[in-house]
Chains A and B, each alone.
Chain A
Amino acid sequence: MIRGKVTLRLAWRNLWRNHRRTLIMLAAVIVGAWAMIFSTALMRGMVDDMIQDGIRSLPGDVQVHHPDFRDDPSVVNSIAPPTDRLLGVLEQPEVVAWAARVRVPAVVSSERNTRGVTLVGIDPDRERELSFVADDMADGRFLESAEDQGLVVGRKLLERLETDLGKRVVVMSQDEKNEIVDRGFRIVGVFESSMQAREDGFVFAGKATVQRLLRMGNRVSEIAVLGTDYRHVEGLRRRVEEAAGPGVVVQPWTELEPYLASMMGMMDGFVLIWIVVVFLALAFGLVNTLVMAVFERVREIGLMLALGMTPAHIRAQIIAESTLLLALGLAVGDVLAWATIEPLKGGIDLSIVGEGMELWGASAVLYPALRWEDIVLANVVVILLGFIASLSPAWRASRFEPVEAITKV
């Protein structure tokens, strides 16, 4: 049996026998652990931002549609507004916000140009918490109610239409009987978005106004629901599905935005690779330190074997030393990472380099996201790989010949 206490005591004392070497190695582990966690938090922050932005651009974490809406997003494939049963779920605290929208293909014409867009009829009070438009108003005003007669368009579209705030445009679409319907709108607000496609592709009007235009009564195209954690939406999706009843499909954002979803999956893989790479840089130092420590102690290791410690004891001893060193470094590194990320929670202003970043769909303020899963992952990977790295020195130590140690003068 391996006696834990004596092993740990020996490990601890042996570590501090060569202060300088241990401190250098410890510093390397601390910096490594800090770098793993800190940079992971930055990357997470960046990707979180991109994904959340993506989800917020219109979707919401979970959405209710007509089964054919995705193939043909026209007014034909509309659904009834939320029933009382569905409202019961939507009023739960696990739902941060929800909105029912009308969403149809349409054509916008100014006196100079015509563009194909998506016309979205919204209830502004509901969208405020859900999608980006309200926050990103650059000019004019946001819609005030579902009855609002005005139109909110993106800056880019405004330029393409060669028109201006306050001017009138005509919006044209089809009703349920495929009859052309149209209506004049005054542009009351202009929004800007970090993604060009949004500025270009969406126009917003009051939901009731759009419903009247399309002669669809109180029916809507989609019900979007925003939960508390975009990473875990399956529970919410199931409850919405149960409450929504038959005749509709309820999908998570990962299905609606497969590109964003794959980005999230890739990110998890990338974090692991990054942690392993940083560890590999450490591993050379670690193995080197251990090998030196082992060969300096040929005699006492031999002595311990001669006294009746088994080779397995000796292996445990060396592995304990390595693990202790790593655990110590990790503990300090974890705290250091937390201490450096915490003050940056409010966001790091990247506007100096911001122009370039926005092209990638990231915003100019980076909010580092420290996730305990990542901290655990980094710690587990380091301990696990550290264990593997110390196997070879431990193995060599356990093969020392005891007699050599105790007879040489």
Chain B
Amino acid sequence: MPAVRCVDVCKTYRQGELEVKGLDHVSLEVGEGGFVCLSAPSGGGKTTLLNAIGGLHRIDSGEIWLADRRIDGLGKGELASLRLHQIGFVFQAYNLIPVLTARENVEFVMEVQGVPPDQRRARSMEILEEVGLKGLEDRRPAKMSGGQQQRVAVARAIASRPTLVLADEPTANLDSHTAEQLMELFVELNTRHETTFVIATHDQRVMGYARRIVRMLDGRIVDDTEQEAA
């Protein structure tokens, strides 16, 4: 059973008179344990697709399935619970709660899930070290660089051990070395825990790690290639 299945999904943004096709009859299947890159020029529809899969958008038509569950049409509460327990997010624009420290941000999802404190703490410390933020655990976002904040967001997305990670430009703001480290971490989680990854990016370094690249243009899928991962 595929981890993610989109069937003929359409989503149109309306701004007054103007209509923009965010998703134009998109169909996509990602197998369990898949590692997929969405690649498109700016405005191609990457973010829209990730948000639709994550239940953050209402779609106009089509179906979205996560494993055996159809999620378009679920209520707000059900979608929230789904996101909380199954999906790890790295958002494109805004990720961290400003009043919480790096560690507390990483633990936030787990805390809402109800993971016991010591377990939470152990996991957040471990992952923060893996993303290269050891020593910065008690900093608040305002006192960190864009790249550091990005890594905290990634750490949060994977700390709760979701079955699906949706990452929107996770390597933006990162230097090559850190970006590679991060991707290696993703790959490791992907192989070790069978976590499914869907990563939106136009970063060539990222695409190198993917086993499959889906290219989009103007809200449509224009190319879908399997490749040997680096």
Contact = CB atoms under 8 A, between A and B. Distances in A.
Q: Answer yes or no: are A and B bound together in one complex.
A: yes
A305 B93 contact: no
Contact of A13 (B85, B89, B99, B108): B99
A403 B56 contact: yes
Nearest to A399: B76
29 contacts: A3-B112, A3-B114, A5-B111, A6-B111, A6-B112, A10-B97, A10-B100, A299-B94, A302-B94, A303-B91, A306-B83, A306-B89, A308-B80, A308-B82, A308-B87, A309-B112, A310-B77, A310-B81, A311-B76, A311-B77, A311-B80, A312-B77, A403-B51, A405-B94, A406-B91, A406-B92, A406-B93, A406-B95, A408-B93
A307 interface: yes
B77 to A, nearest CB: 5
A70 interface: no
Q: Which of B83, B97, B104, B111 has the most CB of A within 10 A?
A: B97
A206 B81 CA distance: 85
A180 interface: no
B195 to A, nearest CB: 17
B94 A307 contact: no
Interface of A: 1, 3, 5-6, 9-10, 13-14, 17, 299-300, 302-313, 402-403, 405-409
Contacts of A311: 76-77, 80
Majority secondary structure of chain A interface residues (helix, strand, loop or mixed)? helix
A313 B77 contact: no
Q: Which 9 pairs from chain A and chain B are nearest by CB?
A: A308-B84, A13-B99, A308-B83, A406-B91, A310-B80, A6-B111, A409-B93, A403-B56, A308-B80
B97 A308 contact: no
Nearest to B87: A308
Given A403-B56, A407-B47, A407-B92, A303 B97 contact: yes
B95 A303 contact: yes
Nearest to A314: B80
Contacts of B91: 303, 306, 406-407
Contacts of A303: 91, 94-97
Contacts of A409: 92-93
A3 B85 CA distance: 15
Interface string B106-128: 00110110100000000000000
Contacts of A3: 111-112, 114
Contacts of B89: 306-307
B73 interface: no
A293 B54 CA distance: 28
Most buried by A among B56, B76, B93, B98: B56
Contacts of A6: 108, 111-112
A403 B57 contact: yes
Nearest to A297: B98
A395 to B, nearest CB: 14
Contacts of A310: 76-77, 80-81
Contacts of B84: 307-309
Contacts of B96: 303
Contacts of B56: 306, 402-403, 406
Contact of A17 (B77, B95, B99): B99
A193 to B, nearest CB: 65
B10 to A, nearest CB: 17
A5 B117 CA distance: 11
Contact of A300 (B57, B83, B97): B97
B145 to A, nearest CB: 17
A267 B85 CA distance: 55
Nearest to A10: B99
Nearest to A409: B93
Contacts of A313: 112
Interface string B54-95: 101100000000000000000011001111110101011111
